[in-house]
A and B are shown apart, each in its own frame.
Chain A
Amino acid sequence: MEVFEVVRPGFFTTIQDKGRYGYQQYGVPVSGAMDSYAHVLSNLLLGNDDGKACLEITLLGPCLQVLRDTAVALTGADLSPTLNDCPLPMWEGVEVSSGDTISFGSQRKGCRSYLSVVGGIDVSPVMGSRSTYVRSRLGGLDGRPLQAGDRLHSSNSLGNLPLKRLPPQCIPLYSTEHRLRVVLGPQDDYFTEKGIQTFLGSQYVISAQADRMGCRLEGPSVEHKAGADIISDGIPPGAVQVPGDGLPIIMLADRQTTGGYVKIAAVITIDLPELAQAELGEIVRFSAVTEDEAYRLATEYEQSIDRLRQRGR
Protein backbone atom coordinates (compact mmCIF):
# COMPACT_ATOMS: atom_id res chain seq x y z
CA MET A 1 0.00 0.00 0.00
CA GLU A 2 1.30 3.46 -0.86
CA VAL A 3 2.09 5.44 2.24
CA PHE A 4 4.29 8.41 1.30
CA GLU A 5 5.00 10.52 -1.72
CA VAL A 6 8.41 12.17 -1.68
CA VAL A 7 7.98 15.90 -2.29
CA ARG A 8 11.64 16.72 -1.57
CA PRO A 9 14.16 13.93 -0.91
CA GLY A 10 16.42 15.74 1.56
CA PHE A 11 20.22 15.52 1.47
CA PHE A 12 20.58 11.73 1.68
CA THR A 13 17.57 9.65 2.64
CA THR A 14 17.77 5.89 2.19
CA ILE A 15 15.76 2.80 3.10
CA GLN A 16 17.58 0.72 5.73
CA ASP A 17 16.84 -2.31 7.88
CA LYS A 18 19.15 -4.38 10.10
CA GLY A 19 21.49 -5.16 7.22
CA ARG A 20 22.32 -7.81 4.68
CA TYR A 21 23.96 -10.83 6.25
CA GLY A 22 25.29 -13.96 4.58
CA TYR A 23 26.75 -12.36 1.46
CA GLN A 24 30.01 -10.90 2.71
CA GLN A 25 31.73 -14.00 1.36
CA TYR A 26 30.84 -12.65 -2.12
CA GLY A 27 32.07 -9.17 -1.27
CA VAL A 28 28.67 -7.68 -0.41
CA PRO A 29 28.83 -5.20 2.52
CA VAL A 30 26.36 -5.58 5.39
CA SER A 31 24.86 -2.03 5.22
CA GLY A 32 21.78 -1.44 7.40
CA ALA A 33 20.88 1.38 9.77
CA MET A 34 23.95 3.26 11.03
CA ASP A 35 22.21 3.89 14.37
CA SER A 36 20.86 0.41 15.06
CA TYR A 37 19.38 1.51 18.40
CA ALA A 38 17.29 4.34 16.93
CA HIS A 39 16.22 1.99 14.12
CA VAL A 40 15.03 -0.75 16.48
CA LEU A 41 13.25 1.73 18.75
CA SER A 42 11.40 3.38 15.85
CA ASN A 43 9.98 -0.06 15.03
CA LEU A 44 9.12 -1.07 18.60
CA LEU A 45 7.28 2.23 19.13
CA LEU A 46 4.85 1.15 16.40
CA GLY A 47 4.66 -2.51 17.35
CA ASN A 48 6.66 -3.51 14.25
CA ASP A 49 9.09 -6.40 14.26
CA ASP A 50 12.45 -4.79 14.91
CA GLY A 51 13.83 -5.85 11.53
CA LYS A 52 11.38 -3.75 9.49
CA ALA A 53 12.84 -1.23 7.07
CA CYS A 54 12.57 2.48 7.76
CA LEU A 55 13.94 5.72 6.33
CA GLU A 56 17.41 6.79 7.42
CA ILE A 57 17.43 10.56 7.12
CA THR A 58 20.78 12.37 7.05
CA LEU A 59 21.29 15.98 8.22
CA LEU A 60 18.76 17.66 5.95
CA GLY A 61 15.44 15.87 6.04
CA PRO A 62 12.91 15.21 3.28
CA CYS A 63 9.39 16.50 2.78
CA LEU A 64 6.88 13.66 2.59
CA GLN A 65 3.20 13.70 1.80
CA VAL A 66 1.22 11.08 3.70
CA LEU A 67 -1.02 9.04 1.37
CA ARG A 68 -3.09 7.10 3.89
CA ASP A 69 -4.06 7.05 7.56
CA THR A 70 -1.41 5.27 9.60
CA ALA A 71 1.12 5.92 12.38
CA VAL A 72 4.80 6.85 12.25
CA ALA A 73 7.62 6.99 14.78
CA LEU A 74 10.68 9.18 14.51
CA THR A 75 13.86 8.51 16.49
CA GLY A 76 17.54 9.43 16.34
CA ALA A 77 18.78 12.90 15.46
CA ASP A 78 16.63 15.96 16.07
CA LEU A 79 16.36 17.56 12.63
CA SER A 80 13.42 19.81 13.58
CA PRO A 81 10.68 17.50 12.31
CA THR A 82 7.21 18.89 11.66
CA LEU A 83 3.79 17.49 10.92
CA ASN A 84 1.72 20.03 8.97
CA ASP A 85 4.11 22.75 10.20
CA CYS A 86 3.68 21.85 13.89
CA PRO A 87 6.53 20.13 15.75
CA LEU A 88 6.37 16.35 15.28
CA PRO A 89 7.08 14.64 18.61
CA MET A 90 10.01 12.25 18.56
CA TRP A 91 10.53 8.88 20.29
CA GLU A 92 6.82 8.08 20.27
CA GLY A 93 4.22 6.76 17.86
CA VAL A 94 2.23 9.52 16.13
CA GLU A 95 -0.95 9.03 14.13
CA VAL A 96 -0.95 10.65 10.72
CA SER A 97 -3.70 11.06 8.12
CA SER A 98 -3.87 11.04 4.38
CA GLY A 99 -2.94 14.51 3.12
CA ASP A 100 -0.61 15.34 6.04
CA THR A 101 2.88 16.64 5.35
CA ILE A 102 5.96 15.49 7.26
CA SER A 103 8.88 17.87 6.88
CA PHE A 104 12.19 18.76 8.51
CA GLY A 105 14.03 21.96 9.34
CA SER A 106 17.44 22.72 10.77
CA GLN A 107 19.70 20.17 12.38
CA ARG A 108 19.62 20.49 16.17
CA LYS A 109 21.28 17.38 17.57
CA GLY A 110 22.78 14.32 15.93
CA CYS A 111 23.07 13.47 12.24
CA ARG A 112 20.65 10.67 11.42
CA SER A 113 16.91 10.37 12.04
CA TYR A 114 14.89 7.19 11.60
CA LEU A 115 11.30 7.33 10.38
CA SER A 116 9.27 4.15 10.70
CA VAL A 117 5.72 3.49 9.62
CA VAL A 118 3.32 0.78 10.77
CA GLY A 119 4.20 -2.41 8.86
CA GLY A 120 7.58 -1.07 7.74
CA ILE A 121 8.68 0.46 4.43
CA ASP A 122 8.20 -2.21 1.78
CA VAL A 123 10.45 -2.72 -1.22
CA SER A 124 11.43 -6.09 -2.62
CA PRO A 125 14.33 -7.48 -0.60
CA VAL A 126 17.64 -8.01 -2.38
CA MET A 127 19.72 -10.84 -0.93
CA GLY A 128 17.43 -11.00 2.06
CA SER A 129 17.49 -7.31 2.98
CA ARG A 130 15.80 -4.03 2.07
CA SER A 131 18.87 -1.98 3.03
CA THR A 132 20.22 0.40 0.41
CA TYR A 133 23.89 0.10 -0.55
CA VAL A 134 24.36 3.07 -2.82
CA ARG A 135 27.91 2.32 -4.01
CA SER A 136 26.76 -0.87 -5.76
CA ARG A 137 23.18 0.32 -6.31
CA LEU A 138 21.77 -2.53 -4.23
CA GLY A 139 18.55 -2.75 -2.26
CA GLY A 140 16.18 0.03 -1.25
CA LEU A 141 14.67 1.92 -4.17
CA ASP A 142 16.86 0.85 -7.13
CA GLY A 143 19.85 1.09 -4.82
CA ARG A 144 19.69 4.87 -4.62
CA PRO A 145 18.68 7.59 -2.16
CA LEU A 146 15.11 8.87 -2.39
CA GLN A 147 14.15 11.23 -5.22
CA ALA A 148 11.29 13.70 -5.55
CA GLY A 149 8.25 11.89 -6.90
CA ASP A 150 9.08 8.49 -5.38
CA ARG A 151 6.09 6.74 -3.90
CA LEU A 152 6.88 4.56 -0.91
CA HIS A 153 4.90 1.54 0.15
CA SER A 154 4.36 -0.05 3.52
CA SER A 155 3.40 -3.62 4.18
CA ASN A 156 0.20 -4.15 6.12
CA SER A 157 1.45 -7.01 8.24
CA LEU A 158 -0.07 -7.14 11.70
CA GLY A 159 2.39 -6.09 14.33
CA ASN A 160 2.44 -6.21 18.09
CA LEU A 161 0.96 -3.58 20.33
CA PRO A 162 2.86 -0.33 20.05
CA LEU A 163 5.05 0.82 22.94
CA LYS A 164 2.96 3.56 24.48
CA ARG A 165 5.58 5.56 26.27
CA LEU A 166 9.32 5.17 26.34
CA PRO A 167 11.07 5.39 29.73
CA PRO A 168 12.98 8.69 29.56
CA GLN A 169 16.33 6.99 30.20
CA CYS A 170 15.86 5.18 26.87
CA ILE A 171 16.19 8.43 24.93
CA PRO A 172 19.84 9.19 24.14
CA LEU A 173 21.20 12.66 24.85
CA TYR A 174 23.82 12.88 22.04
CA SER A 175 26.68 14.70 23.72
CA THR A 176 29.43 16.33 21.67
CA GLU A 177 32.13 14.19 23.28
CA HIS A 178 32.07 10.52 22.54
CA ARG A 179 33.65 7.81 24.61
CA LEU A 180 33.89 4.70 22.49
CA ARG A 181 34.72 1.38 24.10
CA VAL A 182 36.90 -0.95 22.07
CA VAL A 183 38.15 -4.50 22.21
CA LEU A 184 41.81 -4.41 21.21
CA GLY A 185 42.80 -6.61 18.27
CA PRO A 186 42.96 -8.42 15.94
CA GLN A 187 46.25 -6.71 15.06
CA ASP A 188 47.09 -4.68 18.16
CA ASP A 189 50.44 -6.50 18.18
CA TYR A 190 51.36 -4.56 15.01
CA PHE A 191 51.64 -1.39 17.11
CA THR A 192 54.31 -0.18 19.53
CA GLU A 193 53.40 0.19 23.19
CA LYS A 194 53.62 3.92 22.62
CA GLY A 195 51.21 3.54 19.68
CA ILE A 196 48.63 1.77 21.86
CA GLN A 197 49.04 4.44 24.55
CA THR A 198 48.52 7.19 21.96
CA PHE A 199 45.40 5.46 20.66
CA LEU A 200 43.83 4.96 24.10
CA GLY A 201 45.10 8.15 25.72
CA SER A 202 44.44 10.79 23.08
CA GLN A 203 41.60 12.91 21.96
CA TYR A 204 40.53 12.51 18.32
CA VAL A 205 38.31 14.73 16.21
CA ILE A 206 35.70 13.59 13.66
CA SER A 207 36.95 14.70 10.22
CA ALA A 208 34.92 15.70 7.17
CA GLN A 209 35.63 12.26 5.71
CA ALA A 210 32.87 10.48 7.53
CA ASP A 211 30.05 8.62 5.82
CA ARG A 212 28.21 5.31 5.97
CA MET A 213 31.37 3.46 5.01
CA GLY A 214 33.68 4.81 7.68
CA CYS A 215 34.71 7.68 9.87
CA ARG A 216 38.22 9.10 9.58
CA LEU A 217 39.61 10.77 12.68
CA GLU A 218 42.17 13.51 13.12
CA GLY A 219 44.61 13.66 15.98
CA PRO A 220 47.89 12.16 17.14
CA SER A 221 49.40 9.54 14.86
CA VAL A 222 49.37 5.95 16.16
CA GLU A 223 52.80 4.36 15.83
CA HIS A 224 53.11 1.05 13.97
CA LYS A 225 55.94 -1.37 14.66
CA ALA A 226 56.64 -2.01 10.97
CA GLY A 227 54.17 -0.91 8.36
CA ALA A 228 50.39 -0.71 8.11
CA ASP A 229 49.78 -3.56 5.66
CA ILE A 230 48.58 -7.05 6.39
CA ILE A 231 47.42 -9.90 4.20
CA SER A 232 43.82 -8.83 3.53
CA ASP A 233 41.20 -10.24 5.88
CA GLY A 234 37.62 -9.59 7.02
CA ILE A 235 36.54 -6.31 8.63
CA PRO A 236 34.17 -6.59 11.61
CA PRO A 237 31.75 -3.73 12.43
CA GLY A 238 33.47 -0.88 14.24
CA ALA A 239 36.95 -2.10 13.25
CA VAL A 240 39.53 0.65 13.69
CA GLN A 241 41.94 0.58 10.76
CA VAL A 242 45.18 2.51 11.04
CA PRO A 243 46.74 3.14 7.62
CA GLY A 244 50.28 4.39 7.08
CA ASP A 245 49.57 7.95 8.23
CA GLY A 246 48.71 6.61 11.70
CA LEU A 247 45.22 8.19 11.78
CA PRO A 248 42.40 5.84 12.80
CA ILE A 249 39.44 5.09 10.52
CA ILE A 250 36.40 3.45 12.14
CA MET A 251 34.68 1.10 9.70
CA LEU A 252 30.87 1.37 9.69
CA ALA A 253 27.75 -0.10 8.07
CA ASP A 254 28.80 0.17 4.39
CA ARG A 255 32.40 -0.89 5.06
CA GLN A 256 34.08 -3.08 2.45
CA THR A 257 34.01 -6.73 3.46
CA THR A 258 37.79 -7.21 3.42
CA GLY A 259 40.83 -5.00 3.55
CA GLY A 260 44.58 -4.91 3.96
CA TYR A 261 45.17 -2.26 6.64
CA VAL A 262 46.00 -3.28 10.20
CA LYS A 263 43.12 -3.12 12.66
CA ILE A 264 44.18 -2.00 16.12
CA ALA A 265 40.76 -2.61 17.71
CA ALA A 266 37.01 -2.75 17.14
CA VAL A 267 34.46 -0.43 18.73
CA ILE A 268 31.81 -2.49 20.54
CA THR A 269 28.59 -2.52 18.55
CA ILE A 270 26.45 -0.87 21.24
CA ASP A 271 28.68 2.24 21.01
CA LEU A 272 28.36 2.55 17.22
CA PRO A 273 24.97 4.34 17.37
CA GLU A 274 26.71 7.13 19.28
CA LEU A 275 29.23 7.47 16.46
CA ALA A 276 26.44 7.43 13.85
CA GLN A 277 25.14 10.63 15.45
CA ALA A 278 28.55 12.33 15.91
CA GLU A 279 29.16 15.48 13.93
CA LEU A 280 32.17 16.97 12.19
CA GLY A 281 34.60 18.42 14.72
CA GLU A 282 33.27 16.51 17.72
CA ILE A 283 35.61 14.68 20.05
CA VAL A 284 36.20 10.93 20.29
CA ARG A 285 38.11 9.08 22.99
CA PHE A 286 38.74 5.36 23.09
CA SER A 287 38.83 3.12 26.12
CA ALA A 288 39.61 -0.59 26.13
CA VAL A 289 37.32 -3.26 27.56
CA THR A 290 38.06 -6.96 27.73
CA GLU A 291 36.28 -9.44 25.46
CA ASP A 292 34.34 -10.71 28.49
CA GLU A 293 33.23 -7.21 29.40
CA ALA A 294 32.20 -6.56 25.77
CA TYR A 295 30.19 -9.79 25.79
CA ARG A 296 28.45 -8.78 29.03
CA LEU A 297 27.59 -5.32 27.63
CA ALA A 298 26.24 -6.78 24.37
CA THR A 299 23.96 -9.24 26.19
CA GLU A 300 22.77 -6.58 28.66
CA TYR A 301 21.86 -4.37 25.72
CA GLU A 302 19.93 -7.17 24.03
CA GLN A 303 18.07 -7.89 27.28
CA SER A 304 17.08 -4.23 27.63
CA ILE A 305 15.67 -4.30 24.07
CA ASP A 306 13.82 -7.51 24.96
CA ARG A 307 12.24 -5.79 27.97
CA LEU A 308 11.01 -2.94 25.76
CA ARG A 309 9.65 -5.48 23.30
CA GLN A 310 7.78 -7.25 26.11
CA ARG A 311 6.17 -4.00 27.21
CA GLY A 312 4.69 -3.73 23.75
CA ARG A 313 3.26 -7.24 23.80
Chain B
Amino acid sequence: MPVEPRRQAMMYERPRFLPGGDRALFIELGDTIDPELNRRVRRLLLTIQEAALPGLVEVVPAYRSLLVYYEPRQIRRRELRARLDDLIHESLTAELARPKVTEIPVAYGGEYGPDLGAVADHNRLSPEEVVRLHTGATYLIYMMGFIPGFAYLGGMSPRIATPRLPTPRTAIPAGSVGIAGSQTGIYPAESPAGWQVIGRTPVELFLPRRQPPALLQMGDYVRFVPVSDEEFHVIKKKVGQGTYKMEETPVTQEDESGGL
Protein backbone atom coordinates (compact mmCIF):
# COMPACT_ATOMS: atom_id res chain seq x y z
CA MET B 1 0.00 0.00 0.00
CA PRO B 2 1.18 3.52 -0.71
CA VAL B 3 3.16 5.54 1.77
CA GLU B 4 2.08 8.96 2.97
CA PRO B 5 2.74 11.90 0.68
CA ARG B 6 5.77 13.95 1.62
CA ARG B 7 5.30 17.60 2.38
CA GLN B 8 7.06 18.79 -0.76
CA ALA B 9 6.32 17.43 -4.19
CA MET B 10 9.37 15.52 -5.33
CA MET B 11 9.62 15.38 -9.07
CA TYR B 12 12.92 14.26 -10.54
CA GLU B 13 14.75 16.76 -12.70
CA ARG B 14 15.48 13.95 -15.13
CA PRO B 15 13.17 10.92 -15.28
CA ARG B 16 14.83 7.66 -14.23
CA PHE B 17 14.80 4.61 -16.48
CA LEU B 18 14.85 1.46 -14.37
CA PRO B 19 15.03 -2.16 -15.55
CA GLY B 20 11.93 -4.36 -15.40
CA GLY B 21 13.40 -7.64 -16.62
CA ASP B 22 13.93 -8.38 -20.31
CA ARG B 23 10.59 -7.23 -21.73
CA ALA B 24 9.66 -4.15 -19.75
CA LEU B 25 11.20 -1.00 -18.41
CA PHE B 26 10.14 1.54 -15.82
CA ILE B 27 10.08 5.28 -16.31
CA GLU B 28 9.99 6.89 -12.88
CA LEU B 29 9.15 10.60 -12.78
CA GLY B 30 9.32 11.24 -9.07
CA ASP B 31 9.09 9.73 -5.62
CA THR B 32 5.89 10.94 -4.05
CA ILE B 33 2.10 10.76 -4.27
CA ASP B 34 1.16 14.11 -5.72
CA PRO B 35 -1.59 15.19 -8.15
CA GLU B 36 0.77 17.24 -10.35
CA LEU B 37 3.31 14.41 -10.59
CA ASN B 38 0.44 12.05 -11.40
CA ARG B 39 -0.73 14.40 -14.17
CA ARG B 40 2.76 14.17 -15.66
CA VAL B 41 2.42 10.40 -15.66
CA ARG B 42 -0.86 10.75 -17.56
CA ARG B 43 0.60 13.21 -20.05
CA LEU B 44 3.38 10.78 -20.79
CA LEU B 45 0.95 7.85 -21.03
CA LEU B 46 -1.11 9.77 -23.59
CA THR B 47 1.98 10.79 -25.57
CA ILE B 48 3.34 7.23 -25.67
CA GLN B 49 -0.05 5.81 -26.70
CA GLU B 50 -0.41 8.37 -29.50
CA ALA B 51 3.12 7.69 -30.78
CA ALA B 52 2.19 4.01 -31.41
CA LEU B 53 5.84 2.87 -31.27
CA PRO B 54 6.56 -0.38 -33.09
CA GLY B 55 7.19 -3.19 -30.61
CA LEU B 56 5.35 -1.45 -27.79
CA VAL B 57 3.01 -3.95 -26.10
CA GLU B 58 1.34 -1.94 -23.35
CA VAL B 59 1.94 0.68 -20.69
CA VAL B 60 0.98 0.34 -17.02
CA PRO B 61 0.73 3.78 -15.44
CA ALA B 62 0.98 4.20 -11.67
CA TYR B 63 1.22 7.02 -9.09
CA ARG B 64 4.60 8.32 -10.23
CA SER B 65 5.87 5.85 -12.83
CA LEU B 66 5.02 3.95 -15.98
CA LEU B 67 5.94 0.36 -16.78
CA VAL B 68 6.45 0.00 -20.52
CA TYR B 69 6.10 -3.54 -21.94
CA TYR B 70 7.86 -4.10 -25.26
CA GLU B 71 8.70 -6.87 -27.70
CA PRO B 72 12.52 -7.16 -27.83
CA ARG B 73 12.39 -8.62 -31.35
CA GLN B 74 10.67 -5.53 -32.68
CA ILE B 75 12.48 -2.75 -30.88
CA ARG B 76 15.89 -2.69 -29.26
CA ARG B 77 15.98 -1.57 -25.66
CA ARG B 78 18.40 1.28 -26.41
CA GLU B 79 16.29 2.49 -29.30
CA LEU B 80 13.15 2.31 -27.17
CA ARG B 81 14.89 4.37 -24.48
CA ALA B 82 15.90 7.00 -26.98
CA ARG B 83 12.36 7.20 -28.37
CA LEU B 84 10.91 7.42 -24.87
CA ASP B 85 13.35 10.19 -24.01
CA ASP B 86 11.96 12.21 -26.92
CA LEU B 87 8.39 11.42 -25.88
CA ILE B 88 9.07 12.50 -22.29
CA HIS B 89 10.13 15.86 -23.65
CA GLU B 90 7.13 16.03 -25.97
CA SER B 91 4.73 15.05 -23.19
CA LEU B 92 5.40 18.21 -21.18
CA THR B 93 3.00 20.09 -23.43
CA ALA B 94 0.44 17.31 -23.92
CA GLU B 95 -3.15 18.38 -23.33
CA LEU B 96 -5.15 16.21 -20.96
CA ALA B 97 -8.90 15.86 -21.31
CA ARG B 98 -10.92 17.71 -18.67
CA PRO B 99 -11.43 15.18 -15.86
CA LYS B 100 -14.91 14.23 -14.72
CA VAL B 101 -16.39 13.42 -11.34
CA THR B 102 -18.32 10.14 -11.12
CA GLU B 103 -20.86 9.83 -8.34
CA ILE B 104 -20.85 6.46 -6.60
CA PRO B 105 -24.06 5.75 -4.67
CA VAL B 106 -23.29 4.02 -1.35
CA ALA B 107 -25.55 2.51 1.30
CA TYR B 108 -23.61 3.08 4.53
CA GLY B 109 -23.71 1.02 7.70
CA GLY B 110 -26.00 -1.86 8.64
CA GLU B 111 -25.52 -5.09 6.72
CA TYR B 112 -23.73 -3.16 3.93
CA GLY B 113 -21.18 -1.52 6.19
CA PRO B 114 -20.53 -3.77 9.19
CA ASP B 115 -17.44 -1.79 10.27
CA LEU B 116 -18.97 1.72 10.19
CA GLY B 117 -19.34 1.64 13.97
CA ALA B 118 -15.73 0.51 14.46
CA VAL B 119 -14.43 3.30 12.22
CA ALA B 120 -16.53 5.80 14.18
CA ASP B 121 -15.33 4.48 17.55
CA HIS B 122 -11.69 4.45 16.47
CA ASN B 123 -11.90 8.11 15.48
CA ARG B 124 -14.24 9.20 18.31
CA LEU B 125 -16.88 10.25 15.84
CA SER B 126 -20.51 9.32 15.34
CA PRO B 127 -21.31 7.02 12.40
CA GLU B 128 -23.13 9.97 10.79
CA GLU B 129 -19.98 12.09 11.01
CA VAL B 130 -17.94 9.32 9.37
CA VAL B 131 -20.45 9.22 6.50
CA ARG B 132 -20.41 13.01 6.24
CA LEU B 133 -16.61 13.09 6.03
CA HIS B 134 -16.47 10.17 3.59
CA THR B 135 -19.07 11.70 1.26
CA GLY B 136 -17.75 15.24 1.69
CA ALA B 137 -14.50 14.72 -0.22
CA THR B 138 -13.75 14.47 -3.92
CA TYR B 139 -11.24 11.70 -4.56
CA LEU B 140 -8.63 11.69 -7.31
CA ILE B 141 -8.15 8.36 -9.09
CA TYR B 142 -4.36 8.17 -9.06
CA MET B 143 -4.21 4.82 -10.81
CA MET B 144 -6.05 1.59 -11.53
CA GLY B 145 -4.56 -1.72 -10.53
CA PHE B 146 -4.19 -4.47 -7.97
CA ILE B 147 -7.32 -6.30 -9.18
CA PRO B 148 -9.56 -5.63 -12.20
CA GLY B 149 -11.41 -2.34 -11.85
CA PHE B 150 -9.85 -1.28 -8.53
CA ALA B 151 -9.10 2.45 -8.23
CA TYR B 152 -6.34 3.80 -6.01
CA LEU B 153 -8.04 6.91 -4.57
CA GLY B 154 -6.44 9.92 -2.92
CA GLY B 155 -8.05 12.57 -0.78
CA MET B 156 -9.66 10.83 2.17
CA SER B 157 -9.99 12.87 5.36
CA PRO B 158 -7.33 11.79 7.87
CA ARG B 159 -10.07 12.10 10.52
CA ILE B 160 -11.59 8.76 9.41
CA ALA B 161 -8.32 6.86 8.87
CA THR B 162 -8.55 3.42 10.54
CA PRO B 163 -6.15 0.48 10.61
CA ARG B 164 -7.08 -2.71 8.76
CA LEU B 165 -8.89 -5.51 10.56
CA PRO B 166 -6.51 -7.61 12.67
CA THR B 167 -7.78 -10.70 10.83
CA PRO B 168 -8.88 -10.26 7.20
CA ARG B 169 -12.34 -11.49 6.24
CA THR B 170 -12.32 -14.46 3.89
CA ALA B 171 -14.80 -12.72 1.59
CA ILE B 172 -16.35 -9.29 1.27
CA PRO B 173 -19.03 -8.74 -1.40
CA ALA B 174 -18.49 -6.93 -4.69
CA GLY B 175 -19.09 -3.21 -4.28
CA SER B 176 -17.84 -3.07 -0.69
CA VAL B 177 -16.56 0.39 0.21
CA GLY B 178 -13.86 0.31 2.81
CA ILE B 179 -11.07 2.05 4.65
CA ALA B 180 -7.55 0.70 5.14
CA GLY B 181 -5.24 3.06 6.99
CA SER B 182 -5.43 6.43 5.24
CA GLN B 183 -6.87 4.90 2.04
CA THR B 184 -10.42 4.37 0.88
CA GLY B 185 -11.47 2.13 -1.96
CA ILE B 186 -14.20 0.07 -3.59
CA TYR B 187 -13.86 -3.68 -4.11
CA PRO B 188 -15.00 -4.44 -7.69
CA ALA B 189 -15.47 -8.15 -6.99
CA GLU B 190 -15.97 -10.47 -4.07
CA SER B 191 -12.62 -10.89 -2.43
CA PRO B 192 -10.86 -11.66 0.81
CA ALA B 193 -9.95 -8.38 2.47
CA GLY B 194 -8.76 -6.79 5.69
CA TRP B 195 -10.47 -3.48 4.96
CA GLN B 196 -12.94 -1.86 7.33
CA VAL B 197 -16.14 -2.10 5.33
CA ILE B 198 -18.34 0.97 5.86
CA GLY B 199 -20.81 0.64 2.99
CA ARG B 200 -21.64 -0.92 -0.36
CA THR B 201 -22.39 0.37 -3.84
CA PRO B 202 -24.77 -1.41 -6.25
CA VAL B 203 -22.78 -0.05 -9.21
CA GLU B 204 -20.61 -2.45 -11.25
CA LEU B 205 -17.03 -1.26 -11.33
CA PHE B 206 -15.75 -3.85 -13.76
CA LEU B 207 -17.48 -5.51 -16.70
CA PRO B 208 -15.23 -7.60 -18.96
CA ARG B 209 -17.31 -6.94 -22.07
CA ARG B 210 -17.63 -3.18 -21.59
CA GLN B 211 -15.14 -0.95 -23.42
CA PRO B 212 -13.21 0.10 -21.46
CA PRO B 213 -14.01 -2.64 -18.94
CA ALA B 214 -13.37 -0.47 -15.88
CA LEU B 215 -16.01 2.08 -14.87
CA LEU B 216 -13.40 4.43 -13.41
CA GLN B 217 -10.42 5.94 -15.20
CA MET B 218 -7.11 7.19 -13.91
CA GLY B 219 -7.13 10.99 -13.62
CA ASP B 220 -10.87 11.30 -13.05
CA TYR B 221 -12.52 11.87 -9.69
CA VAL B 222 -14.98 10.02 -7.51
CA ARG B 223 -17.55 11.33 -5.05
CA PHE B 224 -19.53 9.03 -2.76
CA VAL B 225 -23.23 9.83 -2.40
CA PRO B 226 -25.21 8.31 0.49
CA VAL B 227 -28.33 6.35 -0.48
CA SER B 228 -30.93 4.54 1.62
CA ASP B 229 -31.33 0.77 1.53
CA GLU B 230 -34.44 1.24 -0.64
CA GLU B 231 -32.56 3.41 -3.12
CA PHE B 232 -29.75 0.82 -3.10
CA HIS B 233 -32.21 -1.83 -4.27
CA VAL B 234 -33.77 0.40 -6.91
CA ILE B 235 -30.34 1.24 -8.33
CA LYS B 236 -29.23 -2.38 -8.17
CA LYS B 237 -32.28 -3.40 -10.19
CA LYS B 238 -31.60 -0.71 -12.79
CA VAL B 239 -27.94 -1.75 -12.97
CA GLY B 240 -29.07 -5.32 -13.61
CA GLN B 241 -31.35 -4.14 -16.42
CA GLY B 242 -28.65 -1.90 -17.84
CA THR B 243 -30.78 1.22 -17.39
CA TYR B 244 -28.86 2.92 -14.56
CA LYS B 245 -27.26 6.18 -15.67
CA MET B 246 -24.13 7.16 -13.74
CA GLU B 247 -24.05 10.77 -12.55
CA GLU B 248 -21.03 12.39 -14.11
CA THR B 249 -20.09 16.06 -13.96
CA PRO B 250 -17.07 18.00 -15.20
CA VAL B 251 -14.58 18.60 -12.44
CA THR B 252 -14.56 21.99 -10.68
CA GLN B 253 -11.61 23.74 -9.13
CA GLU B 254 -13.05 22.97 -5.73
CA ASP B 255 -13.17 19.25 -6.62
CA GLU B 256 -9.55 19.32 -7.73
CA SER B 257 -8.50 20.73 -4.38
CA GLY B 258 -10.25 17.83 -2.65
CA GLY B 259 -13.62 19.43 -1.92
CA LEU B 260 -13.03 19.60 1.81
Residues on A facing B (Cβ under 8 Å): 21-29, 126-127, 135-138, 182-187, 229-239, 256-260, 266-270, 291-292, 294-295, 297-299, 302
Contact = CB atoms under 8 A, between A and B. Distances in A.
Given A236-B24, A257-B146, A295-B77, A21 B69 contact: yes
Contacts of A23: 58, 148, 213
Contacts of B21: 182-183, 236-239, 266-269, 294
Given A186-B19, A268-B21, A297-B22, A136 B189 contact: yes
26 contacts: A23-B58, A23-B148, A25-B60, A27-B146, A29-B148, A126-B209, A138-B148, A138-B208, A183-B21, A186-B18, A231-B31, A231-B65, A232-B152, A233-B28, A233-B67, A236-B21, A236-B24, A237-B23, A239-B20, A260-B1, A266-B24, A270-B22, A291-B77, A298-B22, A298-B72, A298-B73
A242 to B, nearest CB: 15
Contacts of A187: 18
A297 B144 CA distance: 32
B160 to A, nearest CB: 21
Residue in A231, A270, A291, A292 whose Cβ sees the most chain B Cβ within 10 Å:
A231
B57 interface: yes
B72 A299 contact: yes
Contact of A256 (B33, B73, B147, B214): B147
Overall SS of chain B's interface: loop
The 7 closest A-B pairs by CB, nearest first: A234-B67, A266-B21, A258-B145, A186-B18, A234-B60, A236-B20, A294-B22
B62 interface: yes
Contacts of A126: 208-209
A186 B60 CA distance: 15
Interface in B201-239: 206, 208-209, 212-214, 218
Given A229-B3, A233-B63, A258-B146, A26 B214 contact: yes
Given A21-B58, A298-B23, A259 B208 contact: no
Contact of A25 (B2, B33, B61): B61
B220 to A, nearest CB: 13
A259 B146 contact: yes
Interface in B138-152: 143-150, 152
Interface in B7-28: 18-24, 26, 28
B152 to A, nearest CB: 7
B32 interface: yes
B189 A291 contact: no
Given A266-B21, A295-B72, A127 B208 contact: yes
Contacts of A267: 21
Residue in A236, A256, A268, A302 whose Cβ sees the most chain B Cβ within 10 Å:
A236
Given A26-B144, A136-B189, A234 B20 contact: yes
A138 B147 CA distance: 12
B40 to A, nearest CB: 14
B164 to A, nearest CB: 14
Contacts of A135: 147
A183 B151 CA distance: 30
B interface bracket (residues with beta carbon within 8 Å of A): 35 or more
A184 B76 CA distance: 19
Nearest to B208: A126
Nearest to B71: A302
A43 B208 CA distance: 27
Contacts of A297: 22
A165 B189 CA distance: 46
Given A27-B146, A27-B148, A27-B150, A260 B26 contact: no
Contacts of A260: 1-2
A130 to B, nearest CB: 13
B213 A233 contact: no
B207 to A, nearest CB: 11
B2 A233 contact: no
Given A27-B149, A268-B22, 10 more contacts: A22-B57, A25-B218, A27-B146, A136-B206, A186-B28, A232-B145, A236-B67, A256-B147, A257-B60, A266-B24
